[in-house]
Amino acid sequence: MIGVGLVAGLVLVAGVVAGIVWGVLAPTQRLRVTTPEKGVPLTGESMHLFDGIAIFLCLGAVVAVLSVAAAWRVRGARGPALVVGLLAASGLGAAVMMWVGEWVAQVRHPRPDHPAIGQIVALPAEVGTDLVLLVQPLLAALVLLFLAALHPRTDLGSGTAGLLGDLRPAEFDDYPVHDAAQEYRPSGDFDASPQPRA
């Protein structure tokens, strides 16, 4: 359980770092002030709304893949508890990434209080939609599903069982291998008689 908590904490820290990166990379939208409290976007500036969302989605995808890859390395934490913890942390991490990123963008480009008419101002980047918060946990779930489906053991190599990872005996083996080898005969003769077990 400690491993799951550690993984969730690291995902949140990664969300904070990704939010800072997004706040620095996300482009501003420049407007020309036409009337008090109103402005008209310059030509092509409205495309930066899409650019900001695209950068956010790419950063969220990177955080999702890297966090799942790192969590999978904690063998003892593999199981249902890791899935629930990682998905919850990914959803919360995406929200933290959005909050931190918008705060950093606001600090870098604060909104002017009373700009003069005709002045060109740069508005801080905003995500604009909460739907982008679904991408990181969804991608994390898909990568987890892919890794679990490819693993040959039912315990995913963790040596644990149960929702919280109860320890199982060390001699427990999902796929016991029986010693059924027969004596090799160079002449090609095959002895079909059963061999005594040691």
C-alpha distance from residue 44 to each of 41, 48, 58 (Å):
8, 8, 22
Closest CA to 51 of 71, 27, 75: 27
At residue 60, the pLDDT reads: 93
**CB of 119 within 8 A of CB of 32?**
yes
The two beta strands, 166-167 and 29-35, are unpaired
pLDDT of residue 188: 55
**CA dihedral of 63, 129, 28, 49, whole degrees rounded to 10:** 100
Hey, is 121 helix, strand or coil? strand
Ranges of the chain with pLDDT below 70: 1-3, 31, 37-48, 75-78, 115-116, 118-119, 151-198
pLDDT on residue 77: 65
Rounded to whole angstroms, the Cα distance separating 77 from 39 reads 53
Contact between 55 and 153 under an 8 Å Cβ cutoff? The reply is no
pLDDT at 20: 94
Q: What is the domain partition of the chain in residue ranges?
A: 2-167
- The residue among 47, 66, 57 whose CA lies nearest residue 22 is 57
SS3 160: strand
Is this prediction's pTM over 0.75?
no
Spell out the residues 6+ positions from residue 70 whose beta carbon is closer than 8 angstroms to its own.
7, 10
